[in-house]
Structure formats: C-alpha cells, structure tokens
A and B are shown apart, each in its own frame.
Chain A
Amino acid sequence: MEIEPELLEILACPACRERVDPAAEGAGLECRRCGLFYPVRDGIPVLLVEEAVPVGPREPRP
C-alpha cells in the first residue's frame, strides 16, 4: 500500500527526526541519514528503531 505523499511529508525517523522516504527496495520507508529501513506492514509504517533494519547510510539526494 502506498503512503500518501502528504502523510509522508510529516513523518520522521524516530532516531534522528529527519524525514523518511519510500525505500529504494522493498515495502518500507527509509532514513537515509541513519541508514535504517522501516518496514510497512499491512499499510502500517512501523517507525520503531527496534524494528528497523540497517541498510547503511546512503548519499543524500541532490
């Protein structure tokens, strides 16, 4: 399930409170700064640090 863009705009990474983006791969959101992948399960973005999967920091978008 897609996350509404307006909702995505206000969501933040619970670890650093920077914005999260749709993940490059897989159903989830990611924080590029922390390099954490947050799964979206049944339409619920699980924004919990304990449930996040490290994917390694990525370059910020230009």
Chain B
Amino acid sequence: MTADQRAVFFDGIAEKWDGWEDLARLSQKLADGLAELGVRPDEKVLDVGCGTGNLTRALLAKLSPAGRVVAVDISPRMVEVARSKISDPRVSWHSEDARLLPLSDGAVDRVLCYSVWPHFEDRKAVAAELGRVLRPGGSLHVWHLASRHKINEIHAGAGEAIRRDTLPPVRETADLLADAGFRIATARESDAGYLVTAVKPER
C-alpha cells in the first residue's frame, strides 16, 4: 500500500481513534515514558506520526516555554483532530510524508516515532530523513506501548491499507538504524512495549 492510501485510511478513522483509547491511562503512560526517555525541558522535538496528538500533548506538558514540538502526520484529518484538542503556540502542525520533512538539517534535538514505525513502507528513506533533521548527538526513538505481537495482530485484522504493516523485531530495527548511521543506545521489547533508541553521532 502506498503512503497516499494510508493517509486515506487514517483520515477515515481519525474521528474514532480517541474513542478506542483509554486516554487517562495513555496520558500517564506517555508521561512516564517521556521521563524515562530523558526528554529535557528546552528541547525541540519532532513528533512524527502525531496522529490525534496524544503524545504531542504529553510532550508539551514536559517542555518549558522554550521547548518546541513539530508535529507531523501523513493524514490531514488526524492533524485536524489533534489541532482541535491542542492550542499551544509551541507546536507547529504539518501533514507530510516522513521521507520529505519541511525541516532544515539538524533542526531538532529529538525525534519520536511513537506508534508509527510499522506504517513506514520505505524505512531506509525515513531513517535517512530523520537523521538529516536531527542534530548531531540527538536521539531518535522508535516507541510502542504494546508488544510487537499485539501490534502486528491488530494490524493484521485492520483495513487493507495497513494490513501488511508489521513491526519488525527490535534487532531488525536497530540494524536498519545502524546502517543509516545511528549508534544504537537501547533495543528492547517486552509484553509492555517496544523501544529502540538511536543516537546520531557527533561530528
């Protein structure tokens, strides 16, 4: 399936998405997770695959007035839903493909790919683009709050556009990011979640 077909699919479920989440529980888990990832108050963070903005909101709660979030999703409808929930001058909203981001080189301190990695068809191209916009020394996280097995099961039973979107084992994701020039800091998965943290080497 192409990026366009995924955008149409996610446009179609944008209004329903938050109804499927336990938002209070999710927000607590996201807050705890961000603390563990070591997000600092003044960072500029790219939230790629922002969806309905639940992570965007958790990030804003962690950041100081000097912090910034660039929130991107391929589905314009998802971005609209997120924007209707969040009014904060520290965010900029974009509906773009992760392979071609409207950001300058080294623009952000951190990249969060939360619950989106399976949907990138050309992960090599995405990794290269995320590496370009990340500053040297900055971290990229591929993050999920469910097990790989659970995520793949959900996708397998979902619409045609995302049915074959699978989350690979952490080792495979780590290898791909290492090939893209990152240093791997963390690669772990369990029943509770999935995290690969990759650091862009300092020049």
Q: Which residues of A contact B (CB under 8 A)?
A: 2-4, 6-7, 10-14, 17, 19-20, 42-48
Number of interface residues of B (CB under 8 A): 21
A-B contact pairs, 5 of them (CB 8 A): A4-B89, A7-B90, A10-B108, A11-B104, A45-B102
B90 to A10, Cβ gap below 8 A? Answer: no
Which residues from chain A contact B44 at a C-beta distance below 8 Å?
6, 10
For residue B107, CB closer than 8 A to chain A, the reply is yes
A51 and B51 CA atoms in complex are apart in Å by 21
For residue B79, CB closer than 8 A to chain A, the reply is yes
> Of A6, A13, A48, which is within 8 A of B96 by CB?
A48
Which residues from chain B contact A43 at a C-beta distance below 8 Å?
83, 93
For residue B185, CB closer than 8 A to chain A, the reply is no
A13 and B104 CA atoms in complex are apart in Å by 8
Which residues from chain A contact B108 at a C-beta distance below 8 Å?
10
Q: How many A-B residue pairs have CB under 8 A?
A: 58
A3 to B96, Cβ gap below 8 A? Answer: no
Are A13 and B92 CB-contacts (below 8 A) given A44-B79, A44-B83? no
Majority-rule SS of A interface residues: loop
Apart from A17-B104, A47-B96, list 18 A-B contacts with CB within 8 A: A3-B92, A4-B89, A4-B90, A7-B68, A10-B70, A10-B107, A10-B108, A11-B102, A11-B104, A11-B107, A12-B102, A12-B104, A14-B101, A42-B83, A43-B83, A44-B79, A44-B92, A44-B95
A47 to B102, Cβ gap below 8 A? Answer: yes
Q: How far is the CB of B76 from chain A (nearest CB, A)?
A: 9
> Of A2, A10, A17, A44, which is within 8 A of B93 by CB?
A44
Are A13 and B95 CB-contacts (below 8 A) given A4-B90, A6-B68, A43-B83? no
A26 and B83 CA atoms in complex are apart in Å by 22
For residue B105, CB closer than 8 A to chain A, the reply is yes
For residue B103, CB closer than 8 A to chain A, the reply is yes
Q: Mark each residue of chain B from 70 to 113: 1 if its CB lies under 8 Å from any CB of chain A, else 0.
A: 10000000010001000001101111100011111101100000
A7 to B100, Cβ gap below 8 A? Answer: no
A47 and B79 CA atoms in complex are apart in Å by 14
Q: How far is the CB of A14 from chain B (nearest CB, A)?
A: 5
Which residues from chain A contact B104 at a C-beta distance below 8 Å?
10-12, 17, 19
Which residues from chain B contact A11 at a C-beta distance below 8 Å?
92, 102-104, 107
The chain A residue sitting closest to B89, CB to CB, is: A4
A7 to B70, Cβ gap below 8 A? Answer: yes
